Every structure is written in structure tokens, then in C-alpha cells.
Amino acid sequence: MKDTTLGRRALLGAGLAASFPAMPALAAYPERPLRWIVAYAAGGGTDTLARLVGANLSQRLGQPVVIENRPGAATNIGAEAVAKSLPDGYTVFSADNGTLVFNTALFKRLPYDPVRDFRPVGLMARFPLFLAVNDKAQAGTAQALIARARLAPGTIDCATAGIGSPHHLALERMAREAGVRFNHVPYRGAAPAVTDLLAGTIPMMVLDYPSGVEHLRSGRIKALAVLSGRSLEDMPAVPTVEASLGLRGFEAYAWQGLVVPKATPDALVAQLTTALDTSMRDTAVRTKLQQIGLEALTGGPVEFEALLERERATWLPLIRDLSITLD
């Protein structure tokens, strides 16, 4: 009786197994090239960062990493493409504080949701920002510039890379905390603003280091203060905004991290996080980043999420209070 029962169970198990298709063994990852989407045009700082890190990451993963530029709409075009991609570990995205923080307040509607659609892999780099003037400017210090702004509210032109950019928001925050007002002059990117700053068409700007690194190092553009939390090793004589203006805790950057579609499996994300962290600690990568004015960052999903929490608490109220919009 016992043997008969066992036999029937065995036959039943065999029948159930036959009714389902065999599950294929998981393939080794990655087994084909990865697509790295960049929401900016080729040749800029974000593109350069992706190509530099992507080449190193390719060595770690054993597969090519192909950069795909999807510029436009304040990164929304590239972000939407990634949000709608298969969560199979073969699409990664350079996400910045615009994509993941600012845009949620700058736009009434977005074609993606930063929390619902993306999963952090790891941090990559940040772009230091400077309060800068040309070499013929009358104001020799940040204090002198702020003193002039107090005497003539809203009359001193200050250029940025565009409305809603980290440069613009850093300017607005600095002006608010210092109790002054500038006349914001938004450009379509940092490059044309740098050209006008050098020509004397515009007296000052908030400048990211990669966009002006050669001119800052040569002295053609003078940095009055760095908006970082500490002075840069590369330019130790430039004081922080906190030190020069007494704005306690002031810190502002443009930064980049790597994300994937939200439903990407844990195991694949873990593998990408490990490979990215190894790349960001590579001495050759860090040296090249420093040469072009970028600060390498390390940190996985936990550190990435912590940064996002701090950034949202700082910048979203500012954007809403000042009614800054890109709609």
C-alpha cells in the first residue's frame, strides 16, 4: 500500500513537471554589450565622464559599454528612454541632480518618476561650482561683490548654464542666504556664458569647473569662491562660500550617478555596483577626472539614496518658494 502510494505520487509529480516548460539556466551576466544613455550632447562634461568610466567599466565586465546620447528637455528625453527600457541590466543611465531632484519641482508633469522608475547603482563624480569673474573685474573678492550687490539690488548680471541648472539654483540659494539679489542671465549651456565672461559682456557667472578649467587655471577667469564644502586640492587658494561670506553649511554641486530601470534584478545591480565602485577607485580614472575638473565619488545605492534625501530637502523648497519653472 505504501509502495503504491509512493508510485502514484511519483507519476503525479512527473505529469506536473511535464506540463510546464523547462526553465533555462540563467546566462552569465553580461553576455552582450551594455547601453549607457547620456541625456546630454557628445563632448560635454557628462558625456566625457560616461565615456571615461564606461571604458574602465567595460574592462571589469568583459563587454563593450556603448554610449548613446539622448540630449534635450532638461534630461527628460534620456530619462524617459531609460524608464521605458527593459530592466535586464543592459541599460544604464547617467542621472544627475536635475533628473532625480530638480525636475520634479521644475515641471508640472514628467514622463518618468525618479523614485518609481529608477534604481541607484552608485555615485560617480561631482562638478565643483565657482563664483567667477573675468581677470579685469573690479571685485577682487566674494565679499566685495556681495557688498556691491547690496548697494544695487538686481542690477549686477550673473550668468548661469540655464534656468533650473545646478548653477542657477546655487546662485539663487547663495543670494537668498547672503541677503542680496542679482539679475540672473540664463544661457543655453556653460560654453557660451564662458565666452561672454571672457569678452567682458557679462561681469560674473556661476561656473562649473570642467567648463572653465583651463581659464581658471590660467587666471583668465578668476574664482572668487568655490561653492563646495571645502577648498579644492587643485585650487587651494580659492576660499569656500562658507568661509568668505559666512554662509554656514553652504554647499552646492552638479553631480552624477549611475542608475538602471527600477525592476532590474538585485544580483545584476550588485554586480554593476561592485564593478562601478572598482572603476571609481581606479587611480587612472581618478587622475583623469581631476585633470578635467571633476571630483570622483564613491558610494553604492545606500550612499546614493542618502544624497538624494539631502538634496531634495535642500533644493525642492527653494525651487517652489521662488516659483522657478521650466514648463
The pLDDT, as a whole number, for residue 173 is: 97
Phi, psi of 130 (to 5 degrees): -125, 150
Separation in Å, CA 108 to CA 112, 159, 170, 283, 320? 12, 25, 22, 42, 11
Q: How big, in percent rounded to 5, are the helix, strand and coil portions of the chain? A: 45, 20, 35
**204 pLDDT tier (thresholds 50, 70, 90):** very high
Phi, psi of 31 (to 5 degrees): -110, 5
- Residue 271 has a CB neighbour count (10 Å cut-off) of 17
Same fold, 34-126+254-321 and 128-245: yes
Asked if residue 161 lies in contact with residue 189, where contact means CB atoms within 8 angstroms, the answer is: yes
Residue bearing the bigger pLDDT, 5 or 144: 144
Q: CA 150, CA 269: separation in Å to the nearest integer? A: 50
Residue pLDDT, tens place only, 62-81: 999 999 999 999 999 999 99
**137 pLDDT tier (thresholds 50, 70, 90):** confident
Rounded to an integer, the average pLDDT of 159-185 is 97
> Does a cis peptide bond (omega within 30 degrees of 0) precede residue 21?
no
Kindly report the pTM of this predicted structure: 0.88
Phi, psi of 133 (to 5 degrees): -135, 170
Q: Which residues contact 252 (CB under 8 A, 6 or more apart)?
A: 129, 166, 169, 170, 173, 174, 227, 228
Residue pLDDT, tens place only, 224-280: 999 999 999 999 999 999 999 999 999 999 999 999 999 999 999 999 999 999 999
Q: CA 10, CA 7: separation in Å to the nearest integer? A: 5
Residue 297 has pLDDT above 50, yes or no: yes
**136 pLDDT tier (thresholds 50, 70, 90):** confident
Q: CA 111, CA 260: separation in Å to the nearest integer? A: 16
**Helical residues (DSSP H) of the chain, grouped into ranges:** 2-18, 45-61, 76-83, 97, 103-106, 114-117, 142-151, 166-178, 190-199, 209-218, 241-245, 266-281, 283-291, 301-321
Domain 128-245: assigned CATH number = 3.40.190.10
Indicate if the alpha-carbon torsion angle 100, 232, 213, 226 is positive or negative: positive
Rounded to an integer, the average pLDDT of 1-20 is 40
Pairing of strands 295-296, 183-186: unpaired
What mean pLDDT, rounded, does the chain reach?
Answer: 91
Q: Domain spanning 34-126+254-321: which superfamily?
A: Bordetella uptake gene, domain 1 (3.40.190.150)
The pLDDT, as a whole number, for residue 112 is: 98
**23 pLDDT tier (thresholds 50, 70, 90):** very low
- If 0-12 CB within 10 Å is exposed, 13-18 middle and 19+ buried, where does residue 104 land? middle
The pLDDT, as a whole number, for residue 263 is: 98
Q: CA 123, CA 136: separation in Å to the nearest integer? A: 38
Separation in Å, CA 119 to CA 82, 94, 158, 201, 279? 11, 12, 36, 43, 19
Residue 158 has pLDDT above 50, yes or no: yes
For 98, the grid coordinates are 536635475
In the DSSP assignment, the letter for residue 24 is P
Q: Which of 19-28, 118-127, 179-188, 309-318 has the lowest mean pLDDT?
A: 19-28
Task: Report how far Cα 304 is from the mean position of its chain's Cα atoms.
Answer: 11
Asked if residue 254 lies in contact with residue 170, where contact means CB atoms within 8 angstroms, the answer is: no
Domain regions of the chain by residue span: 34-126+254-321, 128-245
Q: Which residues contact 298 (CB under 8 A, 6 or more apart)?
A: 122, 123, 277, 280, 281
